[in-house]
Chain A
């Protein structure tokens, strides 16, 4: 029994921290917000050089062949710095799906270029309502010869403006049901996509509306069997939700650290404010939430890597708990910083806004709890992962 990071994982953690510090730490999201989009390119290239883009890719396709757990320390470090970029979507959604369902040609085409840091992949799943449900997948894919013709609009596509590849659930059959949904892989440089940035509070995670207007993609771009895409999507989302949770834990870790440091140095009434129990105890409660989120997320990733029976429950519990706790303690962090915390120039708001961006993304805390309830065998309507 061993519930801590092992040597290899600690090594990845230290390396990632050093790398992100060398790139400017919290000035990374700030520069990005201010329009210097090249920081994302540099970051991506650096991650590729370190081999981090291929951690979960098997060795025959140029990766390291490691499991989800190895991503945990790296994702946490990225969360600590609120980095921009579809890293979780690429390594913890696209990669596991391509490995599990991709054709040999698809694997050859995508996995090595992802591993080299030359390809960013995102997930274009949500439509007008922003809800994740089979009935909401209405983007139509009509067969025309050996092509699909895509017609419809996806919203809230993370970094949809710069992604090289999009994984898109489309409707190839049915009307509202799970049956009839298929996943297609769309390469941005092969087609013309109409993208429009959505104005999101979290400017470090760009949200994009992508309109597919008579977009033609070869049938060979189908990921997995036709009409069975909903289930495949869920199996990818398990990895992605575990990964997003790890980034939230990293953000929580940073927020606790910021509050602690500030409470030691900021003085009022002739005392460091950390001597006041109202502050001290609040920070302890924040730490407790962070620890709990981290434990749940470690276990969730372990469960996913080992495909345990309680894998879905584990991810749902970790995700619902972290979504709420992150938002809560990011707010408390502002309170602990007083007026300083309320300024644009100080970094507190990055965390608050990232927490808000992730809170209901791909499922609300309530929906994840409902998933856990059903997994525990409590009868009721199965909600969505």
Chain B
């Protein structure tokens, strides 16, 4: 057991810190930066940020050097997420591309796919979305019904996707569709790379409870995919789809570090807010609850590191990621709920009228998605119960 970093890892951290100091938008670190309110302006701002990151070779650090990455180790990726969380860096708009699609194509894509798509992912020239979920296939993803039929060297796709994040901004989509009905639902699925700017694709943003429009319905009416855009083998899409997800290897780290930051913000808020003329942090109930959160955020981080140690030792991640996902999403919800709760009656106000900072209300509402997106908490509990504890499998059809 050794809870310290090597000199090389510390050097990596310092290089990133220096880069962030020099390159974060004006006013970012001292908190005077104003996020563009308008959707298109914000997208433009985020695309700029992505370009800057890729120029500094910080957009996809785990990518091989020849593709603009740094061939970073897992620990370096973790340090990266830690530092980004510390300064609350702007999000990477093309994260589906950089974290998942790119690495998947580099792993199992054809030369054509590598040449055509990979270079435009890191610099954000082409933004990707992930078309998996459908109205009747959510947790039961293998139940997808969107169909792709071969016509000459094209595939014609019909059906509907839903909850597709960033589809309204995306240029490309990594899409799962059914190419054969064998009667077994995990068979006959194929993974396609499709263009979002074509007549057969219609995107309708969905209004979310936090008053944002980040995910969408995607209607596919004779949308086209070319033969060269099949990833892996035809009919092998279930496996390919899982490979894509397996590349999201630091997603939990990201959330884990955000929660460390969130804890600090929560404590800071409790030092500023007052109750009966005393700082809230001196209130016994608030104080006790906060230290409880402190223990849980520490435990989350240390659990994550222990699982990371296993991953490094075994050379691949195990199902423990589900434990981290489960814990982080629920803890995030609890802390944000507490953050709004200690704002008292004014806590119900949001946007311009938010009593402390509108992010508390916005993030609290956003937190209700934590336990749904990327596999619900119920599904994560099934995964842990069945794969780690080896309890009997759930009833499935």
User: Which residues of A are interface residues toward B (Cβ below 8 A)?
Assistant: 1-6, 9, 69, 256, 260, 263-264, 271-272, 274-275, 277, 280-281, 283-285, 287-288, 291-293, 295-296, 298-299, 302, 317-318, 320-321, 366, 369-370, 372-373, 376, 378-380
Is the Cβ of A317 less than 8 Å from the Cβ of B381? no
Whether a CB of chain A sits under 8 angstroms from the CB of B184 is no
A292 touches B381 (CB 8 A): no
A-side contacts of B327, CB under 8 Å: 288, 292
Report yes or no: B290 in contact with A296, Cβ–Cβ below 8 A: no
Contacts of B386 in A (CB 8 A): 280
A275 proximity list for chain B (CB < 8 A): 391-395
Distance in Å from the Cβ of A178 to the closest Cβ of chain B? 23
B296 to chain A: which residues have CB within 8 Å?
Answer: 292, 321
Separation of A366 and B295 alpha carbons in the complex (Å): 13
Partner of A3, one of B282, B291, B299, B302: B302
Q: Point out the residues of chain A lying under 8 angstroms from B2, CB to CB.
A: 1-2, 302
A1-B75 in contact given A277-B378, A280-B382, A369-B292 (Cβ < 8 Å): yes
Given A292-B300, A370-B287, A372-B291, also A4-B309 (CB < 8 A): yes
**CB proximity of A256 to chain B, nearest CB, Å:** 8
Contacts of B75 in A (CB 8 A): 1
Query: Interface centre among B1, B323, B326, B384, by most A CB within 10 Å?
Result: B1
Give the Cβ gap from A107 to chain B, nearest Cβ, in Å.
Answer: 28
18 A-B pairs (CB sep. < 8 Å): A1-B2, A1-B5, A1-B305, A2-B2, A3-B309, A256-B389, A264-B391, A271-B392, A275-B392, A283-B391, A284-B385, A287-B323, A287-B384, A292-B300, A298-B306, A320-B292, A320-B295, A380-B281
Query: B294 contacts A298, CB within 8 Å?
Result: no
Measured CB to CB, the residues of B under 8 A from A are 1-6, 9, 75, 267, 271, 281-282, 287-288, 290-292, 294-296, 298-300, 302-303, 305-306, 308-310, 313, 323, 326-327, 378, 381-382, 384-386, 388-395
Q: How far is the CA of A291 from the CA of B310 in the complex (A)?
A: 14
The distance in angstroms between the C-alpha atoms of A320 and B294, with both chains bound, is 11
Complex interface: chain B residues within 8 A of A288 (CB): 323, 326-327, 384
Contact of A9 among B1, B281, B306, B388 (CB under 8 A): B1
Query: Is A302 in contact with B271, judged by CB distance below 8 angstroms?
Result: no
Residue in A closest to B292 when the chains form the complex, CB atoms: A369
> Are A320 and B291 in contact (CB-based, < 8 A)?
yes
Quick check: A302 and B1 within 8 Å, CB to CB? yes
The A/B interface has a contact count, at CB < 8 Å, of 152
Interface centre among B3, B327, B385, B391 (most CB of A within 10 A): B391
B392 touches A272 (CB 8 A): yes
Picked from A277, A302, A320, the residue with its CB within 8 Å of the CB of B382 is: A277
A1-B3 in contact (CB<8A):
yes
Contacts of B326 in A (CB 8 A): 284, 288
Residue of A4, A5, A264, A302 with highest tally of chain B CB at under 10 A? A4
Question: Which of B288, B298, B303 is in CB contact (< 8 Å) with A369?
Answer: B288
Distance from B12 Cβ to chain A, minimum over Cβ atoms (Å):
13
Q: A380's closest neighbor in chain B, by CB?
A: B282
Q: How far is the CA of A370 from the CA of B47 in the complex (A)?
A: 46
Q: Which of B288, B298, B389 contacts A317 (CB 8 A)?
A: B298
Which residues of chain B are near A280, meaning CB under 8 Å? 381-382, 385-386, 389, 391, 394
**Roughly how many angstroms separate A283 CA and B382 CA in the complex, as a whole number?**
11
| A5 B1 Cβ-Cβ under 8 A | yes
| CB-based contact A299/B388 at 8 Å | no
B302 touching A296, Cβ below 8 Å: yes
Q: Which of A272, A293, A299, A376 has the most CB of B within 10 A?
A: A299
Which of B1, B288, B323 is the one whose CB lies under 8 Å from A6?
Answer: B1
B302→A295 contact, CB < 8 A? yes
Chain A: minimal CB distance from B280 (Å): 11
Q: Which partner residue on chain B sits nearest A274 by CB separation?
A: B391
Give Cα A264 to B282, complex, Å: 47
Contact: B271 with A378, CB < 8 Å?
Answer: yes
Q: In whole angstroms, what is the CA distance A277 to B385 when docked?
A: 9
Q: Which 6 A-B pairs have the closest CB atoms?
A: A295-B302, A292-B299, A274-B391, A369-B291, A280-B385, A275-B392
A378 touches B299 (CB 8 A): no
Query: How far does the alpha carbon of A260 sit from the alpha carbon of B392 in the complex, in Å?
Result: 10
Residues of A within 8 A of B313 (CB): 4
Cross-chain contact B291 with A317 (CB below 8 angstroms): yes
> How far, in angstroms, from A69 to B1 measured CA to CA in the complex?
8
List B contacts of A373 (CB < 8 A): 281, 287, 290-291
Residue of B nearest to A324 (CB): B292
Q: Are A283 and B385 in contact (CB under 8 A)?
A: yes
The residue among B6, B306, B327, B378 with the most chain A CB atoms within 10 A of its own CB is B306
Task: Note all chain B residues with C-beta closer than 8 A to A369.
Answer: 287-288, 291-292, 295
Q: Shortest distance in angstroms between A359's beta carbon and chain B's nearest beta carbon?
A: 15
The residues of A that contact B295 with a CB separation of less than 8 Å are 292, 296, 317-318, 320-321, 369, 372
**Known contacts A281-B378, A284-B384, A291-B323; A296 and B298 CB within 8 A of each other:** yes
Q: Which residues of A contact B309 (CB under 8 A)?
A: 1-4
Other-chain residue from B288, B291, B292, B389 in contact with A260 (beta carbon distance below 8 A): B389
The residue in chain B whose Cβ has the minimal distance to the Cβ of A281 is: B381
Please measure, in the bound complex, the distance between the C-alpha atom of A373 and the C-alpha atom of B282, giving whole angstroms.
Answer: 10
Tell me the nearest residue of chain A to B392, going by C-beta: A275
Extra 14 A-B pairs, beta carbons < 8 Å, given A4-B1, A281-B385? A1-B5, A3-B309, A4-B306, A272-B391, A274-B392, A280-B389, A287-B388, A296-B302, A302-B1, A369-B287, A369-B292, A370-B288, A373-B281, A373-B290
Rounded to whole Å, the gap between the CB of A67 and the closest CB of chain B is: 10
Q: Among B4, B303, B385, B394, which residue has its beta carbon within 8 angstroms of that of A1?
A: B4
- In this complex, what residue of A is CB-closest to B299? A292
